[in-house]
Amino acid sequence: MLIIKNLKKEVTLAEQQRLTILLVPKLELLDHQQAVICGPSGSGKTTLLNVVAGLTLPTEGEVVYDEIKITELSEEQRDLWRAQNIGYIFQKFNLLEQLTVLENIQLAAFLAKLPINEAINNKIKSLIKEIGLAEKINMKPFALSIGEQQRVGVARAIITEPKLILADEPTASLDKENAKLIINLLRDFAKKSGAAMLVSSHDPMVIEQFDCCFPILRPQGGIV
């Protein structure tokens, strides 16, 4: 279970002025639950997912997942926890350009400290076939379409069978057909594996797919 309490994130501007970019008093995501974070641009959706994933720390508040206080872990501990428990789909894909489709997905398994053996490679190849990229397994990201790159991003996120999937505006750069494909891939995997899923989006097509929506608003108050 994911529990967020009194979360606040500030950034420091010139002359030590502070700007609040995220305020979340409370959020709870149950095991196996699929939900969407909805809110306008600038409301902090990406920042919230980054805090949950341990990519950045909040100024105040806490994030607890399965009784582990993520906000109290060291950076090294957060990195390993994320690799072993979180599947993160980034808005801008974050594929490594020098690696092939196969190697990008293998990297996720390596970071989670899974053995890169015949069994895991067969699993990766099966997943690549499932997302329709079997013929492009040895291609690098520049040779793929935007939709294909995002499919690789999804495969990379789920190859470790994470307990929690985080997806940051996963359809933002996609046409309608690819957007539906990506959401269906994510929801089907979460349902089959029992993973919880938290998706950020302002796309009505995405939002209507989820029974649970956590709205967050742009912080008020400005610079202090």
Phi/psi for 24 (5° steps) reads -135, 100
DSSP state of 42: T
Domain ranges of the chain: 2-215
The bridge status of strand 196-201 relative to strand 34-38 is parallel
The residue-averaged pLDDT of 139-148 equals 95
pLDDT of amino acid 224: 37
Inform me whether the pLDDT recorded for 111 exceeds 60.
yes
pLDDT of amino acid 223: 45
For residue range 192-221, what is the model confidence (pLDDT) as tens digits?
A: 999 999 999 988 889 998 989 999 987 865
pLDDT of amino acid 160: 92
Q: Among residues 187, 159, 143, 153, which one has the least CA distance to residue 173?
A: 153
Ramachandran bin of 188, using left for φ above 0, alpha for ψ from -120 to 50, beta for the remaining angles:
alpha
The residue-averaged pLDDT of 63-92 equals 94
The residue-averaged pLDDT of 129-145 equals 95
Inform me whether the pLDDT recorded for 136 exceeds 50.
yes
Structure tokens given for 150:
């995002």
> Radius of gyration (Cα) for the chain, nearest Å?
18
CB 9 within 8 A of CB 63: no
pLDDT of amino acid 78: 96
For residue range 16-48, what is the model confidence (pLDDT) as tens digits?
A: 788 999 999 999 999 999 999 988 888 899 999
2-215 fold: Rossmann fold (3.40.50)
The bridge status of strand 18-29 relative to strand 2-12 is antiparallel
pLDDT of amino acid 221: 53
How many residues are present in the chain? 224
What's the distance, CA 33 to chain centroid?
15
Ramachandran bin of 161, using left for φ above 0, alpha for ψ from -120 to 50, beta for the remaining angles:
left
In this prediction the pTM is: 0.89
Helix (H) or strand (E) holding 123: helix 118-130
